[in-house]
Structure 1
């Protein structure tokens, strides 16, 4: 057994598997958590964030590249430009399903190494595309699609880190993990313009490669696999989760939060260029993703403190107001108002990302505990185990649907621009959608229903 396995060694006789595997892991045991669990979890969180961050950086390559393709000899219509940023989003959403299973199948540390190395593929192909500007548009689409591998990293990272932390304290670490990844969006959009000016567009592909190698090596030496997590859930359980009403509802809500964040992040530069053509969009597009990323752990913290459902409902109301303010700014032709309102919307997407993600395990935990006698410790432990497995399977589906929702956001803007030459109709549709999300959150999680002899809401049960 290695030293890293020893530091989380069992109090009773579990058999170590060797290598970077930990066979005994009980984060809900306060003594275990204080003695070794917190330290091991924090180390794995740090390197998980690093790899996921690079995944987002690569995923968003084309959101900045499309603003500079004309200077590289590639001229595209607005519709073609939006498709180059939409396809990576769509592929990234699809990749979240297999990536969710990967840590359970191969080990969280092992898969982090593999998923980091896979990022060389889109970076290498990006370099090829920029050095060969005459390649056909369909080839550009295929090359852009490979950046979706970076979008899959989010699902595997979140699924892995969930197992390291106690059930009641997952909001903040999951928020930090997600925020660290989400910040890759703004880092790409902030760092690339000066890099392009200095070294040309091709540098956007080369710059990430040494960092990708560093992430893979770091994960190999400093992360762990959890034996307990390898039996987390099965494909059959994920299929059952897809039919679960709670999974369906939370998928819609996650479209509203994460779908909005990633959809706006991919589209923000194009929206600025279309609405305010005299403004250099590349100077500002990073601000949105940056604001949303920083707000995500705050949303998780608020959810831990006040309940995910309460925070989520209020947040959707604020999202609707924010989008309405963007529409007013478009009508008034005010760039400062447009930027301020859109940044407010980005902040609310981040808060909502944190609060909705905190809701998912809490929903299944509350449902399972409601069906057992909690004075029976063994029955309670079995219920908590079922809740973890069900929530882990549901998270894979919900995160995939939420990312796919970003495609819907982008296409709403594309159709609005092509049909009306502006984005105001799309903004009104989005404001109405956020209103629907307010109602869904209240109806399913804040409305009181009869549970046994009492009336209570899921929010009162800890959701």
Structure 2
């Protein structure tokens, strides 16, 4: 491999020379091996980060008695901690290297996941303790701002759209994975050996025996395997910069512009992923007192003929659509450029958010109107996830094209850190104001981002075509 200008790093984990832009010497096998290992571990990170969002909506059904606001906060806190931790993880790749960072981070996931399992087993934990576990789940969110820049070092610019799209998109599938499998896993009687069972009481349905802790415990072996593989097979690229040197990205206005755009895309994806189930339940399910009266098997459905939707049957669809869009559109961003797709993403978000607003105030006059409102809400939300996923792919194509290699890694980490506050901000917004008001703020934000994208990046003769 061609020698780089970076100083040599000691230890067999460090590559002594690395230039991915030189096709003759670029080690593509090592690059793709790194991508698949870090993608697997990043998937486990997203599982840990969004595990509370899968567990929280049913805590009251297994014996806890939290208020709506308390549940919103439990689902929001991982977003707060994930954003804060990303500010730390974003500076780690040039300091500690890929191998140590990925292996240690993956191993740390073991502790909050174990904790959620233990405290789900018996519904007696004080609220503050669950808040602590929700905060520690943010370790999985913080990882993104270290893993993604680190992986970008291994690929030439022309391949970074696909590489980063695959890693982020497949990693994002961890959200759908945990939300899809949780309802199925907890009902498996064969998992009795994982601890004592609980009685789940859902309005309008008979009580059923569940093993809620299994939703957490099942991931622990995969987390340990991921940490071991990372330690055994990953290498580190000799890119070196201290914290002060990395902060030179803040002198570039495009750092701030891309931050605004990534808040629109990933902030929306992560925020809605964390709050989708609670929002659905509070609008069209047991959380709406105009629809359901009482709790458990004796609950009364007030609108005759209306089938109360189980959020667990739908909540995984949004993250699935968003993650799938990120993977599928990444090759198109390499071919056509990222800016045009960010522009399309913004326009799509404006339209889909406005459409969804019509379903945020359920009309409970009849079962037919309730069902129609629910359908509008569900399809609108899925459209929002689709366009957010497209924008997630396109913005990550833009950043390596706008910035030089080390700065691009830093900007990817920084924008990811700020957008990771999405679950917290969405939880805060839905707690403090009506959902319709919060969604209209989203429309205004997307409109501003559309104007910015066209002016700065997408129009003919734009200052920074990308």
TM, length-normalised to structure 2? 0.84
Residues 154 and 119 of structure 1: CA distance in aligned 2, closer, same or farther (over 3 Å): same
In structure 2, distance between residues paired with 1:267 and 1:86: 8
Rounded Cα–Cα distance in structure 2 between residues aligned with 1:299 and 1:431: 23
2:142 is the alignment partner of 1:152: yes
Q: CA deviation at 1:15?
A: 7.3
2:259 is matched with 251
Q: What is the root-mean-square deviation in Å for CA atoms of aligned residues?
A: 2.1
Q: Report the secondary structure of 2:358's partner residue.
A: helix
Q: State the shift of 1:212 in Å.
A: 0.7
Task: Report deviation, 1:291.
Answer: 0.8
The answer to whether residue 394 in structure 2 is matched with residue 355 in structure 1 is yes
Cα distance in structure 2, aligned partners of 1:136 and 1:243: 45
* 2:168 is the counterpart of 1:190: no
**Partners of 2:219 and 2:359 in 1: how far apart?**
37
Cα pair 1:309 1:459 within 8 Å, conserved: no
Tell me, in whole angstroms, the C-alpha distance in 1 between the residues paired with 2:427 and 2:443.
Answer: 15
Offset of residue 389 of structure 1: 2.0
**In the TM superposition, what whole-angstrom CA distance separates every residue of 1:327-357 from its partner, at most 9, and x where no partner exists?**
2234564222322221111111111001011
* Paired position in structure 1 for 2:413: 396
Give how far 1:92 is off.
0.6
| Bigger shift: residues 17-26 or 188-197 | 17-26
Query: Structure 1 stretch 40-49 or stretch 397-406: which is displaced more?
Result: 397-406
Once the two structures are superposed, residues 236-256 of structure 1 have per-residue CA deviations (whole angstroms, 9 ceiling, x without a partner) of 133332343211111111110
After TM superposition, the structure 1 stretch with the greater mean CA deviation from structure 2, 47-56 or 122-131, is 122-131
Query: Separation in 1 of the partners of 2:121 and 2:309?
Result: 28
Deviation at 1:214, TM superposition (A): 0.6
Aligned residues of 1:310 and 1:459 also touching (Cα < 8 A): no
Instruction: Write the deviation string for residues 106-160 of structure 1: whole angstroms up to 9, x where unpaired.
Output: 2201211101110111012212322453232122111111000011121111011
1:68 alignment partner in structure 2? 58
Q: Which residue of structure 2 aligns with residue 410 of structure 1?
A: 427
Q: Does the 8 Å contact 2:186/2:215 carry over to 1?
A: yes
Name the CA distance, whole Å, in 2 between partners of 1:395 and 1:459.
17
Q: CA deviation at 1:459?
A: 5.0
Structure 1's consecutive aligned runs of 4 or more residues displaced over 4 angstroms after TM superposition are: 8-12, 14-18
Instruction: Mark the CA change 1:75 to 1:17 in structure 2 (over 3 Å): closer, same or farther.
Output: same
> Structure 2 vs 1, CA of residues 70 and 237 (structure 1 numbering), >3 Å: closer, same or farther?
same
1:138 matches 2:138: no
Contact 1:57 1:184 in 2 (8 A): yes
* Pair 1:241 & 2:271 matched: no
Asked if 1 retains the 8 angstrom alpha-carbon contact of 2:262 and 2:415, the reply is: yes
- How is 1:278-357 mapped onto 2 (pairs within 5 angstroms)? 278-330=308-360, 333=370, 334=372, 335-357=374-396
Unaligned runs of 5+ in 2: 192-210, 286-307, 362-368
Quote the offset at 1:397 in angstroms: 1.6
RCO greater where, 1 or 2, for CA within 8 Å and sep 6 or more? 2
Q: Distance in 1 between matches of 2:70 and 2:357?
A: 24
| Deviations 1:343-386, CA, capped at 9 Å, x for gaps | 1111111110010111112112xxxxxxxxxxxxxxxxxxxxxx
Of Structure 1 and Structure 2, the greater helix share is in 1
Query: Secondary structure, in 3 states, of the residue corresponding to 2:19?
Result: coil
Contact map agreement 1:102 1:111 (CA 8 A) in 2 = yes
Indicate yes or no: 2:15 matched with 1:22.
yes
CA distance in 2, matches of 1:336, 1:157: 37
Q: Which residue of 2 aligns with 1:32?
A: 25
Deviations 1:390-413 (A, max 9, x none): 222222221111111442233222
Q: Which residue of structure 1 lines up, in the alignment, with residue 462 of structure 2?
A: 457
Q: How many Å apart are 1:16 and its aligned residue?
A: 8.5
In the aligned structure 2, how far is the partner of 1:292 from the partner of 1:237? 34
Where 2:145 maps in the other structure, the secondary structure is helix
- Distance in 2 (alpha carbons) for counterparts of 1:435 and 1:150: 31
